[in-house]
Amino acid sequence: MSKISPHLWYTDKADEAAAFYAAIFPDSRVDSVTAIAADNPSGAAGSVKVVEFTLCGQSFLAIGAGPHDPFNDAISLHVTCEDQAEIDRYWQALLAGGGKAVACGWLTDRYGVRWQISPRKLGELMKNKDRAVARRVAEAMLKMVKFDIAELERAARGP
C-alpha cells in the first residue's frame, strides 16, 4: 500500500466499483474486501465493507458505508492519456452503465465518482511560451466535452 492513498466513501457497492475500475485500467486489481466485524454507526456487523484496490499501480481505499457526502468536483481522478485511442477507450468504459459526460474532459461514472480524461498533449500545448497558441488551445478545450487531440493541435497551429 502507498504511504498516501485516496479513500472513497460509497453509499454501497464499493467492492463493485473497485472491480469495475480494475477491469478498465492496466496493472489494476481488487486487493481485498473486508467486512467490518462489529456493529458501527453505518450499520450492523458485516454490512460495511472496506475495499483495498490498485489502479495503474496506485493504491486506493474505499468503503461502502451508507449515505454520506456525495462525490463532487472538488476531488476527481485524473487520467493522463497518450493518444486519442486511449482517451476514447477510457471515456467509453467509464461512462458505461449510466455515467454522464460533463465538459472539458470531465465525466461522472455510474457510482458518482468524477474523472478527468485528458491527453498529455493538452498540458504541453497549454504551457506553450507563445501565449497566443496557449490561448487558442484553451479556447478550443473549453468548447469540448471529450477531448479531441487533433482539434487541440489544429487550434495550436492557428488559422
> Distance between CA atoms of 72 and 57, rounded to whole angstroms?
24
**Count of domains forming the chain:** 2
C-alpha 72/C-alpha 102 separation (Å) is: 12
Whether 81 and 151 share a structural domain: yes
Cβ atoms of 7 and 60 within 8 Å: the answer is: yes
Same domain for 124 and 78? yes
Q: pLDDT by residue for the chain (159 residues), tens digit each?
A: 779 999 999 999 999 999 999 999 999 999 999 998 898 888 888 888 999 999 999 999 999 998 889 999 999 999 999 999 999 999 999 999 999 999 999 999 999 999 999 999 999 999 999 999 999 999 999 999 999 999 999 999 998
CATH of the domain at 9: 3.10.180.10
* 49 and 88 part of one domain: no
**What is the greatest pairwise CA distance in the chain?**
65
Edge to edge, the sheet with strand 77-81 lists 77-81, 114-119, 106-108, 100-101
DSSP run (H or E) holding 149: helix 149-157
Residues 38 and 96 in one domain: no
Question: Do residues 15 and 57 both lie within one domain?
Answer: yes
Q: Are residues 84 and 62 in the same domain?
A: no
Q: Would you say the C-alpha torsion 133, 136, 142, 143 has a positive or negative sign?
A: negative
Residues 3 and 19 in one domain: yes
Asked if residue 56 and residue 104 are part of one domain, the reply reads no
Q: What is the pTM of this model?
A: 0.93
Residue 154 belongs to domain spanning: 70-159
Q: Identify whether residues 44 and 94 lie together within a single domain.
A: no
